[in-house]
Amino acid sequence: MAKRGRQAQSNQLSWDGDQEAGFPGDQKVETGLQSDFLYDVDVKNVKLAAYRLYNSSKQLEKLQSDIVRKQNKLNRDKTYKSKRLEKHQGNYKDELKEAEDRVIEISKLLHRVPKEVKILDRHQSVRLEKRFGRDNEHSTTDRSWEDKGWRQKLQKAKEDSDNNLAKSNSLQDQINGLIRENDELKKDKAKFQKALAEREQQIKDLQSETARLLRNYNQERAEKDDALTRLSAVASSKIRDNNPNIADLSDVNRPTKIAEKMSELYDNEWTDAFDSLEKRHPDDNIVQKLVNILKNINERCRGMAWQDFFQHVQTSIELPVEVLQEFKPSTRPDHEIVLTKEMQQQIKEFRKLRAPTILPIIQKALVSKDVVSDELTAYYNKCVDVCWLAAVQDPPLFMNFIPGEKFDTTLFKDYTTRGPYVEFL
């Protein structure tokens, strides 16, 4: 290199970063030559680029430690970290791109500076020789030493740039590994989500099938219960048919309840009617008169209940109402009763069920209009109540009105005197 005739003050490279360009020892070399100024500007640009590269390397080191820490945290919760990782990957890629641009810029400067330095050295050497002559060798030697220092600094900056680039490549490899791991996690997640969706669909299908089977079970159970109820009703009806030993405990008008009504008749309505008749007819046999009323009503109820009963029912079913109204009461079917036993049993059960409802109509038909007192009317109505319910039983209840028979304490109550035989009732 040609010797320069101008002495310049040497500068040392500093990385403290306190000054704007990062080189606190930087001083302008005062010269009136345009080439000197361009040389100083290029050197300053190189130092500025080196400073930026240094800062970028520091940022990359910080970012690398941050990525390592986030990678460890990602291993603990990969699902959550995948989103954060993507964000940091984007930031890192941007910073990496910026660092790569700076490295390229520095590389260009590093390739350009030696050529320009040679050109500047050659031109400046010529100018200095012309200006100062040969006696300025010492000054040129100092400038050569300064150029050598800058070349060393540039070489160090290039080495730092290469190191940072290697670190950047290493970080990029780590990022690529994390990206691949993240992709695998996404695939596993998609696989698990698919399996979960299939399992949920299976659960829904099983729930639907269970609900359908439960509905079928409830329907079949209801049908079975209904069939058992109807079968039990039919069986119970057949068992009770003309069998006084079998009683329907759900029937409020079963024989034992009718016997209780008979006892209440004697305790209440019979006593009131007796007192009323005794006041009006003290010389008459009032007991016998009351017995005759009960006996007469009982006979009429039995006749109304069973005389040609099924024949009337069959006639009512077979003939229209208009025919019955026009030709009554002489019209009768020529053929015999064809109602089956099951039909007859159902008809009798239906009549027993409807007996309490039609009692007011039976009372109007049987109670005498010549009754002179309310007490006697109540006695008539109660007799109709007891006798009609007794008559429609299957078989009908029997009332014993024959005097002189042996007194049975399980069937009769004592009235005025005790004895072995029945006298009045």
Residues 255, 258, 259, CA angle at the centre, nearest 5°? 90
Residue 46 predicted with pLDDT over 90: no
Give the C-alpha separation, 397 to 382, whole Å.
16
**What's the confidence (pLDDT) of residue 97?**
76
Which candidate, 101, 115, 104, places its Cα nearest to that of 151?
A: 115
Is the torsion defined by CA of 106, 110, 112, 116 positive or negative?
positive
What are the structural domain ranges in the chain?
A: 34-206, 255-391
Q: Would the pLDDT of 265 be above 50?
A: yes
> CB–CB of 3/129 below 8 Å?
no
Query: Is 63 a residue whose pLDDT tops 70?
Result: yes
Which pair of tokens denotes residue 208? Answer: 């639907």
Choice among 48-57, 290-299, 324-333, 405-414 with the minimum mean pLDDT: 324-333
The confidence score (pLDDT) of residue 297 equals 93
Distance CA 153, CA 356 (A): 126
The pTM assigned to this predicted structure is 0.43
Residue 88 pLDDT greater than 60, yes or no: yes
Count Cβ atoms below 10 Å from residue 286 Cβ, excluding itself: 17
Phi and psi angles of residue 421, each rounded to the nearest 5 degrees, phi first = -130, 155
In sequence order, what E strands does 167-267 have? none
Compute how many other C-beta atoms are within 10 angstroms of the C-beta atom of residue 354: 11
